[in-house]
Amino acid sequence: MSLAGKTAIVTGSNSGIGLGVAHELARAGADVVINSFTDRPEDHALAAEIAAEHGVSVRYIAADMSDAGACRALITKAGACDILVNNAGIQYVAGIDEFPVDKWNAILAINLSSAFHTTAAALPLMRANGWGRVINVASAHGLTASPYKSAYVAAKHGVVGLSKVTALETAGEGITCNAVCPGYVLTPLVEAQIPDQMKKHNMDRDTVIKEVMLERQPSRQFATTAQIGGTVAFLCSAAADQITGTTISVDGGWTAL
């Protein structure tokens, strides 16, 4: 599979899942735009590192995914968009009656509304080329729920619904839209939580991972960012031309329960 000549924009991609996706799309030959809300020298250096590793063009464009105008401007600044991966997201945990309004609004804006705005800006470019891929990184929580995650679960269910509508509106135009639904993925953010969980539960690393952190993931193994990236790359391939409007779970069996 080669994505040479394609431009991919991956939101929220200077670390974690987004960075894994950026690497896999670059490995497949796509030129890539990575993104976050910061604009530091190290962000641009990261783009240069990916470019050097895979021999493609990689740029970093800062954009605040909580701002509708900035979301749309990201697509404009990129200048091209054959593949759009909506990955940006944040999390906050609290009961519904105690959930801060500002946290609710921020999670809905970044996790859901940003995908609407970037997609709206990207579709005309894809239609002009007669080809496009919109891939929304949802979550197992786009298909099921957990307590104390009302905003996140609502947003990710919304992402799944938005993916279906996008697929229907673009059917037969050479454009597909799907949602990838990861379970627990071993990102730097998750890795940083392991020592605290070991101390809290008085368990060794392997036990706390399998018995506490991955309690709902039947495989008792984290997914990797490369596996999520590989799934995204597959959805960009010709083999996935007729896969649209659906979800692909990478969750070790979580949603099979």
Tell me whether residue 148 is one of the annotated catalytic residues.
no
- Shared domain check, 215 and 140: no
Q: Are 83 and 34 part of one and the same domain?
A: yes
Predicted pLDDT of residue 60: 98
- 107: in domain: yes
Q: What is the pLDDT of residues 43-59, one digit of tens each?
A: 999 999 999 999 999 99
Give the pLDDT confidence of 143-168 residue by residue, as tens digits.
999 999 999 999 999 999 999 999 99
Same-domain status, 192 and 239: no
Answer yes or no: is 257 within a domain.
no
Tokens coding 6: 């394609």
Whether residues 75 and 156 share a domain: the answer is: yes
What residues make up the domain containing 196?
Answer: 186-222
**How many domains does the chain contain in total?**
2
Structure tokens at 94: 């609290």
Query: Using 50, 70 and 90 to split pLDDT, how confident is the model at 129?
Result: very high
Q: Is residue 136 part of a domain?
A: yes
The 3-state secondary structure of 50-63 reads HHHHHCCCEEECCC
Cα first-last separation, the chain: 34
User: What is the Cα–Cα distance from 2 to 213, expressed in whole angstroms?
Assistant: 36
213-236 per-position pLDDT tens digit:
999 999 999 999 999 999 999 999
**Rounded Cα distance, 77 and 94, in Å:** 37
Which residues have CB under 8 Å from 182's CB, separation 6+? 17, 137, 139, 140, 223, 228, 249, 250, 251
Task: Please answer whether residues 41 and 60 qualify as being in contact, where contact means their C-beta atoms are separated by less than 8 angstroms.
Answer: no
Distance CA 59, CA 49 (A): 10
Whether residue 73 contacts residue 63, with contact meaning beta carbons closer than 8 Å, is answered with: yes
Domain match, 195 and 125 both: no
Task: Measure the CA dihedral 18/121/139/223, to 10°.
Answer: -30
Helix, strand or coil, per DSSP, at residue 167: helix
DSSP state of 132: E
For the segment 6-20, what is each residue's pLDDT rounded down to a tens digit?
999 999 999 999 999
Same domain for 52 and 160? yes
> Rounded CA gap, 251 and 225, in Å?
12
Give the whole-number percent of the chain exceeding pLDDT 70.
100
Active-site entry in 92, 148, 152, 184 = 152
Residue 191: per-residue pLDDT: 94
Cα separation, 92 vs 236, whole angstroms: 31
CATH number at residue 54: 3.40.50.720
Kindly indicate the confidence band of residue 93, based on its pLDDT and cuts at 50, 70 and 90: very high
Say what the pLDDT of residue 1 is. 75
Other Cβ atoms closer than 10 A to 210: 15
